[in-house]
Amino acid sequence: MSDISNTKTLNPFPSGRSGGALLVIKIGGNIIDDEAKLSSFLKLFAAIDGPKILVHGGGKLATQMAGKLNIPQQIVDGRRITDAETLKVITMVYTGYINKNIVAKLQSLHCNSIGLCGADGNTILAHKRIHPDIDYGFVGDIDSVNTSFLKTCLSNEMIPVIAPVTADKNGQLLNTNADTIAGEIAKAMSNLYDVTLVYCFEKNGVLMDINDEESVIKKINRNYYEQLKSPSRADGEVKIFAGMIPKLDNAFEAVNDGVKKVIIGKAENIKELISGNSGTTIVNE
Amino acid sequence: MSDISNTKTLNPFPSGRSGGALLVIKIGGNIIDDEAKLSSFLKLFAAIDGPKILVHGGGKLATQMAGKLNIPQQIVDGRRITDAETLKVITMVYTGYINKNIVAKLQSLHCNSIGLCGADGNTILAHKRIHPDIDYGFVGDIDSVNTSFLKTCLSNEMIPVIAPVTADKNGQLLNTNADTIAGEIAKAMSNLYDVTLVYCFEKNGVLMDINDEESVIKKINRNYYEQLKSPSRADGEVKIFAGMIPKLDNAFEAVNDGVKKVIIGKAENIKELISGNSGTTIVNE
């Protein structure tokens, strides 16, 4: 990951982590699809002190809108195949409806925010995914994050609110996974700040027992993660819910690439997540 | 018009027109609805030197989308009645689809742009229209323009691309006329820059004879405008096409409030409009 070389920035920043602490928080469909939950979360988010970046996913709205518009949706390996009509819907819903409603709500809470997709300020440059077997359509894989621009926003007390749409260098918009965007932003911004990345999802944290919300694992380091992943139980299954492994692999990739820590938990508990009193913390130890 | 008092800005600017020249260009549906025309215009726009702001209207896409979604549309006195479902469509189409495609295209042309609605960076604060007889729904009338924020963008070589949606102080998004947005931005920015406001429309300029595209009036000052408006012909009609009078009244309001000049003409001729070789120029003389 590197800055976009052709981006002009009049505010050069010294290298090193001179910016202090930075929070990168990702919220997903379980919050976005629920007006009351979103509203409560935004109040908590607005009250957090210091530099912060919010990355939001898409939720069910795009699928609902595609349905109303009779655009058939195809999901392969959990990824939406994004044809031209689907991209149009995604752009409308993610960068328009969801993003601007979040920004307007945050402004009303005196949190001076600015809604961005990857094209705005060249925040995120991507390319169309190349896959040997599957044509994902207009799906973007990230090439670079414009850290200078994001730092300019933060230095001017602007909170970036980022929609999961990027663009390639030819001006083609691309549907891009919000978890990946949050991770790439967190890693890139680690050159300038001490970054904490918070992945909000529907559970209290990484659970030892998927059916017990109280079985949150408070802290996972590399050694413990290897133990958790090892199929040591009598039935040959790993100790933690297998569905968490891709999320945890991403988290370890982030801490390996400079992110100070990754916290996984519920958006409703964002204050407690940040203070270390809720959720699971992943550290590079 | 005044700056938003509660907006924090770390880059204070001296008062007075220290910023030099600024272009505020408004394009409408006749360009936005035509992919080839929009693409040609954006190439010309990207090539213009110096600080510039692009304001775009909505075109037919929102009406088409509302039709596909079976949302009935009601127009009163040329204004769309914006109920909650229509506002959702407008937000999706204007701030999402149109705005982000323009920004991505401009980035590919090495024009570092940023797409904004009124909520982003508190660019434009508005209130829901109050009318004694008609409930326009979620339609916004502008209270203030955040000139400090726009200047911060321009000083960082970011070109604002503004969609015709604003927000009130409670976080409610509002459908807002793009001509009005361009005019209010031009007037507010006149405190900091020498502003030229360009209204692009489907004619070569203000025509003496509506049926003759060659009958462009090159320059209109107040005295001449009074003459043009006076019903002095034998048939009692004014000399210019009556439909132009609201546009010209707006233009004179702008030059009266500090805008250096207003130019009216075709987007295809943007280069010639700016150099004074096409269109109609309105000046406060």
What are the pLDDT digits (tens) for B252-273? 999 999 999 999 999 999 999 9
Residue A126 has pLDDT above 90, yes or no: yes
Residues of A in contact with B92 (CB under 8 A): 65, 92-93, 96-97
Residues A91 and A185 in one domain: yes
Whether B119 and A96 lie within 8 Å, measured CB to CB: no
Residue B3 has pLDDT above 60, yes or no: no
Nearest chain B Cα distance for residue A92, angstroms = 4
Whether A119 and B103 lie within 8 Å, measured CB to CB: yes
The residue among A150, A156, A172 with the most chain B CBs within 10 A of its CB, best to mutate, is A156
Whether A104 and B10 lie within 8 Å, measured CB to CB: no
Whether A114 and B116 lie within 8 Å, measured CB to CB: yes
Q: Is residue A3 part of a domain?
A: no
Q: Is residue B75 part of a domain?
A: yes
Give the residue among B250, B123, B119 at the shortest CA–CA distance from B197: B250
Which residue of B65, B107, B171 is in closest CB contact with A122? B107
Paired tokens of B130: 């109050």
Q: Is residue B132 part of a domain?
A: yes
Question: What is the DSSP code string of A150-204?
Answer: HHHHHHTT-EEEE-SEEE-TTS-EEE--HHHHHHHHHHHHTTTSEEEEEEE-SSS
Q: From the centroid of its chain, how far is CA A285?
A: 23
Q: Is residue A129 part of a domain?
A: yes
Whether A92 and B92 lie within 8 Å, measured CB to CB: yes
Residues A52 and A180 in one domain: yes
Residues A61 and A154 in one domain: yes
Residues A88 and A141 in one domain: yes
Residues A61 and A149 in one domain: yes
- HSE-CB of B1 using CA atoms within 13 angstroms: 23
| Rg of chain B in Å (alpha carbons) | 19
Percent residues over pLDDT 90 in chain B: 77
Task: Please name the residue of chain B whose CA is at the shortest distance from the CA of residue A146.
Answer: B112
Residues A284 and A190 in one domain: no
- Overall domain count for chain B: 1
Q: Is residue B60 part of a domain?
A: yes
Residue B156 has pLDDT above 60, yes or no: yes
What pLDDT does B152 receive? 95
Q: E strands within chain B? A: 21-27, 52-56, 74-76, 79-81, 113-116, 124-128, 140-145, 159-162, 165-167, 173-175, 194-200, 219-220, 261-265, 280-283
Residues A22 and A129 in one domain: yes
Q: From the centroid of its chain, how far is CA A94?
A: 13
Question: What is the DSSP code string of B111-132?
Answer: --EEEE-TTGGG-EEEEE---S
Give yes or no for a contact between A199 and A153, defined as CB atoms under 8 angstroms apart: no
Q: Which of A161, A196, A231 marks a domain boundary?
A: A196
Interstrand relation of A21-27 and A194-200 (parallel, antiparallel or unpaired): parallel
Q: Is residue B10 part of a domain?
A: no
Residues of A in contact with B172 (CB under 8 A): 104
pLDDT band at A9, cuts 50/70/90? very low
Residues A259 and A285 in one domain: yes
Residue B141 has pLDDT above 60, yes or no: yes
Residues of A in contact with B115 (CB under 8 A): 117, 119-120
CA distance A142 to A35: 30
Residue B13 has pLDDT above 70, yes or no: no
Whether A96 and B101 lie within 8 Å, measured CB to CB: no
pTM: 0.91
DSSP tag of A29: H
Whether B171 and A95 lie within 8 Å, measured CB to CB: no
Which residue of B101, B107, B156 is in closest CB contact with A11? B156
Q: Which of A196, A221, A248 marks a domain boundary?
A: A196
Residues A135 and A49 in one domain: yes
Which residue of B7, B119, B156 is in closest CB contact with A152? B156
Count of other CB atoms within 10 angstroms of residue A219 = 13
Q: How confident is the prediction for chain A on average, in pLDDT? A: 90
Residues A186 and A218 in one domain: no
Nearest chain A Cα distance for residue B186, angstroms = 21
pLDDT band at A234, cuts 50/70/90? low
Q: Which of A155, A179, A196 marks a domain boundary?
A: A196
Residue A23 has pLDDT above 90, yes or no: yes
Q: Is residue B13 part of a domain?
A: no
CA distance B274 to B263: 8
DSSP alpha helix (H) spans, A14-112? 29-32, 35-47, 61-68, 84-90, 99-108
pLDDT band at B9, cuts 50/70/90? very low
Nearest chain A Cα distance for residue B20, angstroms = 18
Q: What is the pLDDT of residues B52-111, one digit of tens each?
A: 999 999 989 999 999 999 999 888 777 679 999 999 999 999 999 999 999 999 999 999
Residues A145 and A116 in one domain: yes
Mean pLDDT of B176-185: 96
Q: Is residue B173 part of a domain?
A: yes
pLDDT band at A240, cuts 50/70/90? confident
Instruction: Determine the structural domain holding residue B141 and report its residue range.
Output: 53-192
Give yes or no for a contact between B179 and B250, defined as CB atoms under 8 angstroms apart: yes
Task: Please name the residue of chain A whose CA is at the shortest distance from the CA of residue B11.
Answer: A156
Give yes or no for a contact between B280 and B205, defined as CB atoms under 8 angstroms apart: yes
Residues A191 and A206 in one domain: no
Which residue of A100, A121, A167 is in closest CB contact with B173? A100
Give the residue among A54, A107, A110 at the shortest CA–CA distance from B119: A107
CATH number of the CATH domain containing B61: 3.40.1160.10
